[in-house]
Amino acid sequence: MHIYTHPEFIHHDVAEGHPERPDRLRHLLGHLDREGILDDCQLREPGDLSDAQILAAHTTGHLEFLRRSEPTDGIVPIDPDTWMGPRSLNAARLAASAVCSGVDDVLTGTEQRVFCAVRPPGHHAEANSAMGFCLLNSVAIAALHALEQQDINRVAIVDFDVHHGNGSVDICKDHPQIMVCSSFQHPYYPNRLDDIEQPNIVNTPLPAGSGGDDFRRAISTQWLGALEQHQPDLILVSAGFDAHQLDPLAALNLQEQDFQWITQQIVSIANQYCQGRVVSTLEGGYDLEALARSAQAHIEALI
């Protein structure tokens, strides 16, 4: 299995004390190395992606805003939670490119499943706005890229980050070929686009304090049948691990085995409908040890 990452991700700078810090990726990759996961997975670097790929998901105004906002030195806030440094836009482009490269790998048969160890995350970035630590919506860009490929008629995005994938819903809601399933603590950030009712959007709110049994029940009831009905040709995963009980940013109580379980369900559906093809990308997860152990469980289930 390929794991896409790039040294540039470490150089996306954020404010002192910001939870989405470079140590997340350093710690995760170090943990995967120590646990022998990287012995079974080939590390690969993505190249850049085209403006056209970005503009399939985002407005021209949004891309121009990011270009104007990026400083030549230091860091600047572009909303109360989201920062840019001199190399942030490049990192965001490479993160989206990693997911697109993973799509290309699984569609050409080079790999069956791919994980992208990237930052910044992407699933909060809407068509015309950056927010929630996110600049470009990597998974939505990759979904639209996949639909341009031969024999890909339907794509599913499954998002188990503790925060609602509002950006993926915003970009994909008018594309019935893309189903977006998002589980999230509710009420909680970002409190938008979580009440849309249409066949290709499956919003799964969970009250604060929900644990693994609550999560598994909700996924089994709301996601699995919808995904079987959609019959995707490819599954993309927004893999956020901030629903872990140790995570400092939220109040769900999942454990590593819950992330393993949801991954097993995703792989099972992929094996049934789309030749096992799954491309997963890192979103949230802010306790370093919980992030590392949860991502390991996720990757092992993918392998």
Which residues are marked as active site?
A: 124
- 36: Cβ–Cβ under 8 A, 6 or more apart, which residues? none
CB 236 within 8 A of CB 139: yes
- 268: Cβ–Cβ under 8 A, 6 or more apart, which residues? none
What distance in Å separates the CA atoms of residue 284 and residue 303, rounded to the nearest whole number? Answer: 21
- Give the burial string for 7-38 (b: 16+ CB within 10 Å, else e): ebbbebbbeeeebbbeebbeebbebbeeeebb
Place of tokens 């503790």: 162
Least Cα distance to 175 among 205, 142, 147 occurs for 147
What distance in Å separates the CA atoms of residue 123 and residue 223, rounded to the nearest whole number? Answer: 18
Least Cα distance to 193 among 220, 164, 226 occurs for 164
Give the gyration radius of the chain's Cα atoms: 17
